[in-house]
């Protein structure tokens, strides 16, 4: 029986039947409209890559909003829990994702970091989002009151919070909100801001507490609503600089 592979378990074929990761098979089974063979391959490659990079085991939730259906876009790939609930009809576009309306539309993860008992915790946490459109605005992309991301604020910088109660004083300037923005806290004293797989700044802000609110996408619970279009969102334990670089590379290949 012929077998081919990449060496990382990313592209294995047994005879004429692809050998998918167990997590990919479970995800396919939850999709009301099954993905075609090409999309299955992309999903499987991404999941296998996340596992190999040590990222998958650190995730509470991962959403590929740039999916083939709105239902598939709302699925948490990690487990059949914390699937997204659209509120006030955010616009969905096939293979592009969901777009906020800047007024009241959002996607509720159902994940409350205080009560979920998940991997996201006070001193070991990350939030990440991938924007497909560029705007400079003081509107949130993901999170809640004490943990949130502005991919590009009105001053042209990445801003937000990571289990603290103030925005960074040394927010890194960016020319566009398009791309992958991650805030990652690995200890009690500060957190890292990464853009497109590159560490931009380490913010020295002590952790003061987690807000007992569910995380939203397209907005932050208890704060402003965004207008950008989003391809990915994710949350969980802190990611190292290397893990985040690998994550960016994997997401870029699948988008």
Give mean pLDDT, residues 171-192.
97
Q: Report d(CA 96, CA 103) in Å as an integer.
A: 21
Q: Reply yes or no on whether the pLDDT at 13 is more than 70.
A: no
- The chain-wide mean pLDDT, for the chain, equals 93
pLDDT at 7: 36
Strand partners, 182: 128, 194
| Whether the predicted pLDDT of 17 surpasses 80 | no
CA 102 vs CA 149, 173, 180, 204: distances in Å: 15, 23, 20, 30
237-249: pLDDT as tens digits: 999 999 999 999 9
Instruction: Give the start-to-end residue ranges of the domains of the chain.
Output: 1-52, 59-254
Answer yes or no: is pLDDT of 14 > 60.
no
Pair 21, 9: CB distance under 8 Å: yes
| pTM, full prediction | 0.92
- Please tell me the distance from the alpha carbon of residue 98 to that of residue 212, in angstroms, as a whole number: 25
Q: Sorting pLDDT into bands at 50, 70 and 90, what band is 16?
A: low
Architecture of domain 59-254: Sandwich (2.60)
């Amino acid at each position: 029986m012929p077998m081919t592979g990449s060496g990382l378990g990313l592209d294995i074929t047994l005879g004429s039947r692809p050998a998918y990761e167990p997590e990919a098979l479970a995800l396919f089974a939850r999709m009301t409209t099954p993905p075609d063979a090409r999309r299955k391959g992309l999903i499987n490659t991404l999941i296998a890559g996340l596992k190999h990079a040590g990222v998958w085991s650190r995730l509470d939730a991962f959403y590929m909003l740039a999916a083939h259906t709105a239902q598939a876009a709302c699925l948490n790939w990690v487990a059949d829990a914390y699937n997204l609930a659209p509120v006030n009809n955010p616009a969905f576009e096939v293979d592009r994702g969901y777009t906020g309306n800047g007024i009241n539309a959002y996607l509720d993860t159902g994940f409350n970091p205080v009560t979920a008992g998940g991997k996201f915790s006070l001193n070991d946490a990350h939030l990440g989002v991938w924007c497909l459109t560029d705007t400079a605005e003081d509107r949130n992309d993901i999170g809640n009151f004490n943990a949130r991301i502005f991919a590009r604020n009105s001053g042209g910088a990445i801003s937000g919070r990571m289990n603290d109660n103030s925005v960074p004083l040394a927010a890194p300037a960016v020319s566009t909100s398009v791309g992958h923005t991650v805030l990652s806290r690995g200890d009690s004293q500060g957190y890292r801001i990464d853009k497109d797989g590159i560490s931009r700044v380490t913010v020295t802000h002590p952790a003061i507490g987690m807000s007992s609110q569910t995380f939203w996408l397209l907005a932050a619970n208890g704060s402003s609503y965004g207008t950008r279009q989003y391809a990915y969102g994710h949350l969980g334990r802190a990611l190292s600089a290397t893990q985040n670089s690998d994550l960016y590379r994997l997401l870029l290949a699948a988008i």
